[in-house]
Structure formats: structure tokens, C-alpha cells
């Protein structure tokens, strides 16, 4: 059964935290405020924290439960399988905990207070998933599936049967976490899901107006079937706008896709991570 927590915010580390925050503020219409060393970027349904550190690394990904009861039902099973630490995030209430995956990425679980609505935002898009690169995707997938209870929706295998990518969900949305085999363990991308085709068009037009080049897309991913495009933030992290992400039935069988460009983009060329 799906655990029901949803990606709520992500902490990115950056050698250029102010510049990155300014980019997300300007392009994604997020309000930026400073708290200590953190740049906190918020808009309706999308929040990021950008903190000083090694660029292209995840600080943490934060998943929100709908209630304290829900979180407290989830926590003991996780604590029985891995070390659970107290955690804090300025975007969560006081009761948070974190775990660390085999690549050293921190995942925080907590409860988000009711969000701010800001009517002057240019366009809707909800922070919906993130993707990580890993030298050892099998270990990472086993951790998220067997320790945290994420569900594998689709995997991408090469011709030798080795895993090259995997898409995992925590609710009915096809993936909230993607893992790509690569030669280093870094952040791959963040994704903001918008309402529909016309909004995807509007976001693409906005990128043009703001002189931000689309570096991949518009395309449609095989796994998840979402239409998308990607730009890069000042650190080179990919930032995706997507729409039409598949909604999964609870007992949907995990799919297996071949490792080729068409899997990652049904409509054309792909950024291959390995």
C-alpha cells in the first residue's frame, strides 16, 4: 500500500545559493526570504531551500504527511529497518524525522502547515518529484522500496538486465522519486507539475520571455507518460515543467522499459545519464 506522503520541499546545496535562489524567484515566481544561511523560496505548492554547500548535491528532500496520526503510523516501521534521527525544517512543523539513504541523501518526513497563497504568481506548478543520480542504483532502490515503502512503478533495464533507471511513487502519482544510474551521486532534476497542456505552453513561453533556454524537450517520457521540458538553473541542475503524469491504480504491476532514448523521450532525443 502506498505510504501517502508527498514531496513538499527540497533543500539544494549550492556554491551560488543567492544566485540560485534569485533564479527560482525570477523564473518560477517564488518569494525568496533569507533565514540564517538559508535562502527560502516559496510559492503556492512549490518550495525550495537553497543553502551553501557543494553544488549539485541534495541537502534533503522533505515529504509531508497529511496528519500527525498518519506520520506516527508510518514512523515505527521505518525505525525498525533503519536509523531514524530527529530533524528540523523551517517549512515543517516541529515533529520531523529523517533517514539517510545509501548514497548519503537525507530524506525528511514531517507535516507542512497550511500553505501561503500568493495571487501574483505567474503560473501554477506544484513541486512533484525529484531525481537522483547514483553509482549503485540497486542499493538505492532497495532502500526506498524495502525500508521506506516507496513503490516501484517502472524500471529501465539495459540489454544485460542491469538497472539503469527506476521510478518510484508514494501515492497514486507515477513517481515522486526517480533514480538514474550514473558515474556520480548527485541531484539529477527537480520537477514542477503544471495543470495541463496549455499551462505547459505558457511556462515554455515564459521561459522564452525571460530568456531561459529550454535544454530538453518539449517531449514525453515513456515511464510516467508526462509531457515535459527542462531548463537548467545557475548550478546546471535540471529543472522540469511537466504535465499529464500517469495516475496509477494501487495494484498496477511495475513495468520494465528498454534502456534507450525513446524510453526517456517518446518524441525524440534524450539526455542519457549512462
Footprint of Fe ion (CB under 5 A): 191, 240
The smaller minimum CB distance to Fe ion, of residues 101 and 240, is found at 240
Q: Identify the DSSP state of 139.
A: H
Residue 51 CB, nearest distance to Fe ion (Å)? 23
The smaller minimum CB distance to Fe ion, of residues 64 and 191, is found at 191
Rounded to whole angstroms, how far apart are CA atoms 114 and 44?
10
* C-alpha dihedral, 211 to 186 to 226 to 44, nearest 10°: -70
The smaller minimum CB distance to Fe ion, of residues 71 and 177, is found at 177
In the complex, which residue's CB is closest to Fe ion?
191
Residue 41 CB, nearest distance to Fe ion (Å)? 19
Closest residue by Cα to residue 217 from 207, 203, 206, 231 = 231
The smaller minimum CB distance to Fe ion, of residues 110 and 217, is found at 217
Residue 129 CB, nearest distance to Fe ion (Å)? 6
Residue 18 phi/psi, 5° resolution? -65, -40
Rounded to whole angstroms, how far apart are CA atoms 144 and 201?
34
Residue 274 CB, nearest distance to Fe ion (Å)? 16
The smaller minimum CB distance to Fe ion, of residues 173 and 240, is found at 240
Rounded to whole angstroms, how far apart are CA atoms 82 and 37?
30
Rounded to whole angstroms, how far apart are CA atoms 9 and 43?
11
The smaller minimum CB distance to Fe ion, of residues 40 and 127, is found at 127
Residue 167 CB, nearest distance to Fe ion (Å)? 9
Helices (H) and strands (E) in the chain, counts: 5, 17
Q: 24, 272 in Cβ contact below 8 A? A: no
| Structure-block grid coordinates of residue 81 | 529497518
Residue 77 CB, nearest distance to Fe ion (Å)? 28
Q: 228, 246 in Cβ contact below 8 A? A: no
Amino acid at each position: 500500500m502506498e505510504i501517502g506522503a508527498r514531496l513538499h520541499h527540497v533543500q539544494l546545496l549550492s556554491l551560488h545559493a543567492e544566485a540560485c535562489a534569485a533564479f527560482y524567484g525570477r523564473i518560477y515566481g517564488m518569494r525568496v526570504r533569507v533565514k540564517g544561511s538559508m535562502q527560502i523560496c516559496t510559492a503556492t505548492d512549490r518550495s525550495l531551500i537553497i543553502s551553501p554547500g557543494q553544488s549539485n548535491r541534495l541537502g534533503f528532500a522533505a515529504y509531508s504527511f497529511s496528519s500527525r496520526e498518519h506520520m506516527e503510523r508510518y514512523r515505527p516501521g521505518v525505525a525498525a529497518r533503519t536509523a531514524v534521527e530527529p530533524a528540523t525544517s523551517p517549512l515543517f512543523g516541529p515533529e520531523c524525522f529523517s533517514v539517510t539513504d545509501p548514497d548519503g541523501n537525507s530524506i525528511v518526513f514531517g507535516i507542512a502547515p497550511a500553505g501561503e497563497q500568493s495571487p501574483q504568481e505567474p503560473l501554477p506548478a506544484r513541486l512533484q518529484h525529484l531525481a537522483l543520480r547514483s553509482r549503485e542504483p540497486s542499493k538505492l532502490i532497495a532502500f526506498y522500496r524495502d525500508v521506506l515503502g516507496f513503490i516501484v512503478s517502472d524500471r529501465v533495464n539495459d540489454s544485460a538486465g542491469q538497472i539503469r533507471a527506476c521510478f518510484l511513487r508514494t501515492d497514486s502519482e507515477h513517481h515522486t522519486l526517480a533514480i538514474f544510474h550514473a558515474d556520480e551521486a548527485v541531484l539529477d532534476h527537480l520537477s514542477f507539475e503544471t495543470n495541463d497542456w496549455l499551462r505547459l505552453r505558457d511556462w515554455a513561453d515564459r521561459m522564452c520571455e525571460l530568456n531561459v533556454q529550454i535544454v530538453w524537450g518539449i517531449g514525453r517520457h515513456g515511464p510516467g507518460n508526462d509531457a515535459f521540458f527542462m531548463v537548467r538553473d545557475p548550478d546546471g541542475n535540471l529543472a522540469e515543467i511537466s504535465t499529464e503524469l500517469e495516475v496509477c491504480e494501487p495494484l498496477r504491476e511495475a513495468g520494465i522499459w528498454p534502456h534507450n532514448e525513446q524510453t526517456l523521450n517518446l518524441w525524440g532525443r534524450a539526455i542519457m545519464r549512462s
